[in-house]
Structure 1
């Protein structure tokens, strides 16, 4: 199993939008996303600062995103 490569908060937002998530609210640097099927998550956006691997894994769990799909989408942005 390969190690997850990190992305910035901005890049994670692009990945979520490609998956059909819509930005519903933002307070400061925290952006809330929701999908039409009810899945939801929050992304912390601090410029181009990379998200921690733990946070990326938690977002992937919340949005039911596989490691393979994450890597594919990360390479597309």
Structure 2
């Protein structure tokens, strides 16, 4: 298993934007990304200086990626 990188919320957003996600809106300290291409998905990413490893792993899983595929986006 590939190690999870230490990222901020904005850095994670930039990686997901490479997959076609766009920033829909921000509610408080959470960035809401959406993907219009099928499958239609929404991701909620906390806009923190450092994302917890479990939180980042859950977001990657919701996007339908593996950790290795996500690391390639960086």
The TM-score, its normalising length taken from structure 1, stands at 0.83
Aligned pair count reads 72
Q: CA deviation at 1:45?
A: 0.7
Match of 1:50 in 2: 50
Instruction: Provide runs of 4+ in structure 1 moved above 6 Å.
Output: none
Q: Please show how residues 1-77 of structure 1 align to structure 2 within 5 Å.
A: 1-36=1-36, 37=38, 38-46=40-48, 49-74=49-74
Q: Which runs of 5+ in 2 are unaligned?
A: none
Q: Which runs of 5+ in 1 are unaligned?
A: none
The TM-score, its normalising length taken from structure 2, stands at 0.86
Q: Is the 8 A contact 1:6 1:56 kept in 2?
A: no
